[in-house]
Amino acid sequence: MDKMTSDCPYPGCFFCVMKEGNPGKRRTGILKFFRELPSQDDDGQVLPISGLWNTAMAHPNDPEFIDLGIFECMAALIWKGLKNRRWLSHDQNIYIPYYAAHIIGSYTMNLEEFAESAVHAGVIPPLVELLRGRLTWVEQRVAVRALGHLATYASTFPAVASHGEVLELAIQLASSSLEIVYSHFYQYVDRRLSYHCDLLTRGMGGVEMESRKAEEWASQLQCWSLQLINCFAFKPDFLPDICKPEFLVKLPGMWGGLVNENSPAGIGLLRTICQHKLGRGPVASCPGIVEALCNIARSSDDWQYMAIDCLLWLLQDPSTCQKVIDKAVPALIDLADISTLGDHKKLGDSIVSVIQEAVQSQGTVRNSISSRTKEQIDELLSSRQRLKWEKNTPKEDLHIKQAAALVVKLEGNSLFSSGNIAGAAAKYSEALTLCPLKSKKERVVLYSNRSQCHLLLQQPLAAISDATRALCLHNPPNRHAKSLWRRAQAYDMLGLAKESLLDAILFINECSQSNDPDLSLRQNKVPDYAERLVKKQMRAAWLFREAAIKRGGVHSEGNAGDVYGQDADDSEWETASESDVGNNGRGEEDDDEDNDSEWKNEDNRKDKYDKASTKDRNHGYGVLLAEDDI
């Protein structure tokens, strides 16, 4: 191509072509550029490719380059990088396969017709080669992203699936991606490839920024692998390859590092699998998966509804119901009072209906479940009958019952303050039997108070159950600060770091917006006990924790902390509440909650609560004491 301007340093400069004012000449110049670029060995080729990358990111739905051969050009450049290592190592050509695969992924993520053009241009074979790891994990990341987009559409999925190794490679990558990034980049600072560092930070960061971005990219590598597998999971023919126990058991832990909220993550893939009868059997046969689904269903994260869907489908299937009912029902009963969750309306009613149908349709099931689960089911069904009765009960009678419940609650608070924790829990239980079911704010307080008692009595499962019930009754759901904190502590007792971390962060966020003087963050400073718990769980839930332990516990100077749990430094942990929330940040006020509670120093009361361990007190267990609402 002829040089377009006298001062342009590169013959056939793409940027000069783009400045052409005549549309016909411009189109002809672009077409020629795409045809000739793969065969050229001139320096400076990475510049137009990076320009195309920026254009594709900014305007992924623009059809201009599609008909002019951009997909053919990008596929040819990837092949060139794979086959010609001399060219790849020259100048800055090492960047080109990455940019080329990224461009393909960007132009195929929204429009099916673009994806069809890409398939016809032959992009899949070179992308599969990158997926196999022919270059590095950085190119794998963009290859699996592009293939995931191509597999999304009905018209192009068969072309992806025709490469039989794609699914197997995606499963391997989802399982090993964190270890790959840790061992090939994060672990050894002095061995990091310079072009990886440049891509991660765009030349604007030091070692710490590189480490932080590596965690983000590792998360994306895993999440995009799961997205690709998810496309296959919708097809029953591929479920036997996906539903292998060694892979299924890892899925609940694939959270994506608490980022990539638009990714299905492991729980999203499990949800897809559970939609098929062929998938539900293997899931139900892994007790660890069912237990993990119960934990996620009780949690307050973005994937809560996915776990609930999985449990409901497993209960509705006669072939899996008996296997999961003893674990699934207690978790779902805790969620029976939730009304709306995202787009799910009357979710609690759906949960109750499924549980009732599961018990009524299978006589053998009721004989196989534990007595405790039977009691919980009977209590649930009785509460529904009680709700119907209350609808026909005069308001005066309900007010009397509510007043009686208040008296009993105050007795419980008095017992709590005197150190009789078991007695207080019994009183809160009694108050719950009296309190009308429609008095949701009062029941939130009672469940939350009883959860606190269970914490001090070292009964974390019961504490989680009550805190979850309080959070479901609260309006809006999952936003009751004290219950979030109590459940965070209970999860900590059980070693469930991610669940504890999520609740602790949500607790801090709620405090930052609360009108309650006991909860609001003084001078926007996170309470010490909350900061300690968050730091502890961030270390325990660190994305590379397992990989680091497997490889000797070596970690870089990122923000993850010591993988063996040594204390983090004393620097203040910055949160959104400190940096983003102003003094005028307000939230919904719980008018019916007792607002005279105090956040007292636990050390001043240590002699009162012999049943709470010293370790627990030092970590903030039981900090929410009060004269009325504990």
Residue of 547, 586, 605 lying closest to 419 (CA atoms): 605
pLDDT for 7 equals: 59
Residue type for 586, please? R
Q: Is the peptide bond before 476 cis (omega within 30 degrees of 0)?
A: yes
Strand 624-625 and strand 598-599: the pairing is antiparallel
Burial class (CB in 10 A: 0-12, 13-18, 19+), 86: exposed
Residue of 518, 487, 492 lying closest to 627 (CA atoms): 518
Query: What is the reported pTM?
Result: 0.84
**Distance of alpha carbon 563 from alpha carbon 543, whole angstroms:** 10
140-191 pLDDT, tens digit each: 999 999 999 999 999 999 999 999 899 999 999 999 999 999 999 999 888 8
pLDDT for 302 equals: 74
Residue 558: pLDDT over 60: no
Rank 130-139, 204-213, 356-365, 575-584 by mean pLDDT and report only the highest: 130-139
Burial class (CB in 10 A: 0-12, 13-18, 19+), 607: exposed
Angle at 187 between CA 182 and CA 193, to 5 degrees: 85
Give 251's DSSP letter: G
Query: What share of the chain has pLDDT > 70, as a percent?
Result: 82
**What rounded mean pLDDT belongs to the chain?**
84
Q: How many CB atoms lie within 10 A of CB 382?
A: 10
Residue 604: pLDDT over 60: no
**Distance of alpha carbon 605 from alpha carbon 461, whole angstroms:** 25
How much is the average pLDDT of 40-56? 88
Look up residue 560 and give its two tokens.
């993850």
95-125 pLDDT, tens digit each: 999 999 999 999 999 999 999 999 999 999 9
Whether 277 and 319 have beta carbons less than 8 Å apart is answered as: yes
**Distance of alpha carbon 534 from alpha carbon 252, whole angstroms:** 21
Rank 14-28, 390-404, 419-433 by mean pLDDT and report only the highest: 419-433
Rank 129-133, 498-502, 511-515 by mean pLDDT and report only the highest: 129-133
**Distance of alpha carbon 460 from alpha carbon 494, whole angstroms:** 7
What is the secondary structure of 327-342 as a DSSP string? HHHHHHHHTTT---BT
Residue 10: pLDDT over 70: no
What is the secondary structure of 558-589 as a DSSP string? SSS--TT-PPPPSSPPP-HHHHT--TT-----
Beta bridge partners of 599: 624
How much is the average pLDDT of 586-593? 37
Reported as a pLDDT band with limits 50, 70 and 90, residue 601 is very low
pLDDT for 59 equals: 94
Beta bridge partners of 344: 341
